[in-house]
Amino acid sequence: MKPARLALADGTVYPGFAYGASGSVVGEVVFTTGMTGYQEVLTDPSYCGQIVTMTSPHIGNTGVNSHDSESATGAPQVAGFVMRDPSPVASSWRSETTLDAYLERRGIIAIGGIDTRALTRRLRDFGSQNGCIGSEDSATLVDRARAAPPMEGLDLVARVTPRERYRFSEPRGEWTVASSEALTPRAVRKIVALDYGAKRNILRCLVDSGFEVTVLPASASARDVLDEKPDGIFLSNGPGDPAAVGYAVETLKELVGKRPIFGICLGHQLLALALGAQTYKLKFGHRGLNQPVKNLATGRVEITSQNHGFVVDVDSIGNHARTTHVHLNDGTSEGLEVPDARAFSVQFHPEAAAGPHDTLYLFERFRTLIDRTK
């Protein structure tokens, strides 16, 4: 095993061994607390530009397959990958290749043998920061990490959004866990999904809810959206600083109130900005499959899957919208609604890929909202 290092911009260096593709890479170092779903993490476009640390120590034991990728192309989206104990073998009836071979073939630079507990504590205590993975000397790696641009102000949506309009019609099939109501044949409703870095399983859930899904790139204008004559508009997840995606915010300002709107993750943040609220960067973000959220309408606690470093400022929402969900760990915004404009959004990922299924009902809520306007 070839020695390698992960160097943080603050000068901290973690020794390990090279894994995956050869070379060096810089990005914002973050951690996710999920104990499963590493392939979904690797391929989630919301991780674009980030070096992702897996807090679960044993990674790669179930291999990689062609069905669990969350990006439209199936390609990994992370800048780099950090693990404690990469498995030398893959054992699963669904496995098609090993994690090491997959990362090498896809050009993703990773590192194993890292003390991920120590790294996670540092990111938790001092905040996410830029880092560099490579085999060069520590000083060189630290300099590269410090020279990388900060996440604030970065428009990463432009890297992951599709270039052209496309139709999506793939259901979840055998993995469907929707309600019987969602599976009952109903009139097809047409929606436009604005793709800021959409996960495939989100689009699959929309198909399962009876939607005919047309996907438009993030640069689409309000006229482009309305020319599709949709019954509703969906705003996807995505990476980077929402305040840097001003063109998307301006488009949403024109669309609010024109059609029912449902947003997830970055879509939630962009909708909030369009309504007049503000966003800011969290110290280390929310990433994992066990994030507790309180539904203020029902009083129930919902366990959610999340992946974001920026958040809507609850105090700035004011009279622009009604807060519907809050994070129980820090009280940050997890959902809002504007009933008069037929719009709502959530910060977490109800499609649960990977993760719990507590909030799958939100896709049905979107369907009901549209049906009531027809």
Which residues are known to be catalytic?
A: 265, 349, 351
CB-based contacts of 6, cutoff 8 Å, min separation 6:
13, 14, 16, 29, 51, 82, 111, 114, 119, 131, 132, 133, 141
Longest dimension (CA), the chain: 64
List the structure tokens of 374.
């027809």
Q: Which of 224, 80, 77, 253 is nearest to 156 (CA)?
A: 77
CB-based contacts of 187, cutoff 8 Å, min separation 6:
210
Per DSSP, the residues of 200-231 read HHHHHHHHHTTEEEEEEETT--HHHHHHT--S
**CA distances (Å), origin 210, targets 157, 168, 188, 197, 222:** 27, 12, 6, 22, 24
Q: Are 37 and 307 in contact (CB under 8 A)?
A: no
Bridge partners, 168 (sequence order): 213
- 14 sits in which H/E element: strand 13-20
**Could you give the CA distance from residue 7 to residue 130 in angstroms, rounded to a whole number?**
9
Q: Are 178 and 206 in contact (CB under 8 A)?
A: no
Q: Are 336 and 279 in contact (CB under 8 A)?
A: no
**Could you give the CA distance from residue 63 to residue 69 in angstroms, rounded to a whole number?**
12
Q: Are 294 and 300 in contact (CB under 8 A)?
A: yes
Question: What are the φ/ψ torsions at residue 79 (nearest 5 degrees)?
Answer: -80, -40
